Amino acid sequence: MASHLVIVGGGPAGMMAGLLFARAGVPTTVLEKHGDFLRDFRGDTVHPSTLELFRELGLRDALLRRPHDRVDQLRARIGGQTVRIADFRRLPVESRFIAMMPQWEFLDFLAAEAKRYPDFTLRMETEATGLTHDAHKRVNGVRMADGQVIAADYVIAADGRRSVLRDAAALPRKDLGAPMDVFWFRLPKTAGTGNETMGVFEAGRLFVQIDRGEYWQCAYVFAKGQADAVRARGLPAFRAEIATLNREMASAAEALTHWDQVKLLSVALDRLTRWHRPGLLAIGDAAHAMSPVGGVGINLAIQDAVAAANIMAAQMAAGAMADGLAAVVQQRRMWPTWLIQRVQKIAHDRIIGALLRPDARLDGPPLAVRMLDRHAALRGVPARLLGLGVRREHIRSPDAGRRA
């Protein structure tokens, strides 16, 4: 009899793992504490690496029928000068763009596909608050908010950067630090054919505008711990700041009439030094909280889910214990996690942190950025790092052939 898997967290890592393990014939239950996936300001960048995984599953075309916008180049305005940073059209894969898709659409698609497998169960409004253990201290279930227990042969913690299960399992965590926090908000716009997603870098200020067709999804970046100080200056000052960063946003910024429209994202950059204990594996943000730099968090989480299924699903489908394989998953995924976080940490310390200092000066793009703008071939380098990452996973987990 196949092992029963319980996955806590219905985000990208949890839902992708749920789909792949159920596809392999592993009885899989995903627990999601919310009643739906409709939450604003979650990451919505589906990178080429993820699109290629869906192509390997034969699901990419169906996924792209969901509402999305395509970004095939990234630009930035630095010190008043617009420069080209990355060109995904040069990638050596079929999916040469980022799909900007609301995360609720992405998760709803994953849930619909996973439900086609008889071994998959999704339980919404089901909050996990802890773990249960057998006489040998091996994790053997999940304790719920209502006191009930769901027994499991194995548990995957995919419950995000504030993971309850990670803490319950006392998994050791290393905090790398982050110099900034972010205000996320929407501004109205007129839908157009061009996608104008870009970042604006000025001395002491950083602003990101993501073209979502009928609205802008915006990020205003400021020094960590300064949220109250920004609010204290008042909404008129905040609107004026947006207009200063992008004059074309001046009228749209008038739509901000109260602070409830502005959501605070407390940026974290950390990772577990051990992702597992007997009976449990942490993946995605539960294993490594990523900075929003590069928008790679979702895609790294999905790579974790694919690696876990590739390494563990066949053995679990056969009813065997998978405890010894969790370390193999960590070993495979730790290096790309370390490398991407290292790049993010350098960006934090040398670019963002320096830019947000009160004495910061920015006269124009640095030489490296000017070289990217001048030479098209060079723009393929950041496109490859952002779009495909490192140690890219492919679908290797088995298909039990039980799809309805």
Q: What is the pLDDT of residues 269-287, one digit of tens each?
A: 999 999 999 999 999 999 9
**Segment of 106-115, 244-253, 293-302 carrying the highest mean pLDDT:** 106-115
* First CA to last CA distance, the chain: 21
pLDDT at 192 over 70: no
Strands 149-151 vs 139-144: parallel, antiparallel or unpaired = antiparallel
pLDDT of residue 36: 82
Average the pLDDT over 24-31 and give the result: 97
Confidence (pTM): 0.92
Residue 314 has pLDDT above 90, yes or no: yes
Under 8 Å between Cβ of 7 and 31:
yes
- The alpha carbon torsion through 254, 247, 359, 182 (nearest 10 deg) reads 50
What integer pLDDT is reported at residue 198 of this predicted model? Answer: 78
- Which residues does 368 contact at the CB level (< 8 Å), separation at least 6? none
- pLDDT score at 195: 53
In terms of CATH, what superfamily is 5-176+268-388? FAD/NAD(P)-binding domain (3.50.50.60)
In this predicted structure, what is the pLDDT of residue 75? 87
Helix (H, G, I), strand (E, B) or coil at 382: helix
- Determine the average pLDDT of the residues in 304-323: 95
Residue 294: is its pLDDT beyond 90? no
Buried b (16+ CB within 10 A) or exposed e, 181-214: bbbbbbbebeeeeebebbbbbbbebbbbbbbbee
What is the pLDDT of the chain when averaged over all its residues? 90
